[in-house]
Amino acid sequence: MAVRHNRISQKELKRRLREEIHSRITLSFYKYFPVSDTTKFRDELYHSLQSFGVFGRIYIAPEGINAQISVPLPELDNVEKYLRSVDSLSGIRLNQAINDNGKSFWVLKIKIREKIVADGISDPSFSLEKIGTYVDAATFNRLSDEDGTVIVDMRNHYEYEVGHFENATEIPSDTFREQLPMAVDMLKEKKEKNIVLYCTGGIRCEKASAYLKHHGFKNVFHLDGGIIHYCNTVRELSLPNKFHGKNFVFDDRLGEKITREVISRCHQCGQPADNHTNCRNEGCHLLFIQCDKCAIKFEGCCSVECQKFIQLPEKERGIFRKGINKGRNVFNKSRKRLTSSTLNENHDEMLTPAGNKHLPET
């Protein structure tokens, strides 16, 4: 069964999405399981989900599936029944987005990857069968109140910056593959303590729990369903909420408000702000935090240089962008690549690499 490629322009797809009369809901899910034929599994999934009008972004790999989908509300029950009818997906948790109108996607894309979460692990003896212990919201709260418990954030630095759990240890990095060996090193003196890992939806902390156990950690736990399921649960059960700020998400929203607190600052002026954006200069596309005032002042750009660049004629901009490497480009305070005081002065390196808008690792 061949998967058809979309031939409709993005502009037209977005227009159609805006004109839909029904509501949508965003669901995310993942599962580690062996996929023997990734192409066949991808094609069957695409054909079925497309028939329900589902949009979204799904990764298939020999180690499992990682998905974020936008479902028409009238088809929600049918989609849930279908997913749970697939033998390899039985028992999956479907996390519902917290603050969302369901319209962050306008097309369905299912891609085959080497791994659903890039981890850099090459050790053939590593196994995902030996993971840590799942904990629910109530157990997470109880463990976090106990002396000696270490709460560890297994997300990227820019996710941690806008929101995290109380007393959480940050593993300051750009990618999950960097984080894993860093976590082992940072926690090596705490191997006998209770280590509780968390991430956005559970996929990264589950693999990280197996990695820590592989390296001799004994008491490893990970938050079932991640931040998304935790926040939905504490609301439903009126439990104390220990997450503060905003939950970064890998779609066009770039964040879900969990509490009203703003715990991060604008990377340009230093005022409280938690809105991530991508620089309007497509030759930069830096992911950074910008307040409303700076967004107006710099016209959505991360610097004066980029602001000047977007004012050039399109022909000149196209010549400059030609051949630019499309790598990750995010503002990283942990490496002091730039600081809020030098964001507009030291911009040479940001004018050369162009970054992906945001790379899903949920």
What are the sequence ranges of the domains in the chain?
10-112, 133-245, 276-355
CATH 3.40.250.10 fits 133-245, yes or no: yes
Predicted confidence at residue 351, as pLDDT, reads 36
pLDDT at position 355 is 36
pLDDT at position 360 is 42
pLDDT tens, position by position, for the chain (362 residues)?
445 555 666 666 666 666 667 888 889 999 999 999 999 999 999 999 999 999 989 999 999 999 999 999 999 999 999 999 998 998 888 988 776 666 678 789 999 999 999 899 988 899 888 999 999 999 999 999 999 899 999 999 999 999 999 999 999 988 899 999 999 999 999 998 999 999 998 899 999 999 999 999 999 999 999 998 999 999 999 999 999 999 887 666 777 888 899 999 999 999 999 999 999 988 888 999 999 999 999 999 999 999 988 888 877 776 666 655 544 555 554 444 333 333 444 344 333 333 333 334 44
Q: In terms of DSSP H, where are the helices of the chain?
A: 10-18, 38-51, 76-85, 137-145, 157-162, 176-186, 203-214, 226-237, 292-297, 304-310, 314-321
Q: Cβ distance 68 to 59 under 8 Å?
A: no
Contact 222, 132 (CB under 8 A): yes
pLDDT at 332: 55
| DSSP element (H, E) containing 238 | none
Residue 34, class by beta-carbon neighbours within 10 Å (0-12 exposed, 13-18 middle, 19+ buried)? exposed
CATH class of the 10-112 domain in this structure? alpha beta
Q: What is the DSSP letter of 75?
A: G
Any idea which residues carry the catalytic annotation? Answer: 199
pLDDT at position 352, please?
32
pLDDT of the residue at 348: 40
Contact yes or no for 70/17 (Cβ under 8 A): no
Running DSSP on this structure, what letter comes out for residue 335? Answer: G
Q: What is the CA radius of gyration of the chain?
A: 21
Q: What is the pLDDT of residue 255?
A: 73
What whole-number distance in Å separates Cα of residue 108 and Cα of residue 128?
29
Mapped onto helix, strand or coil, the DSSP state of residue 52 is coil
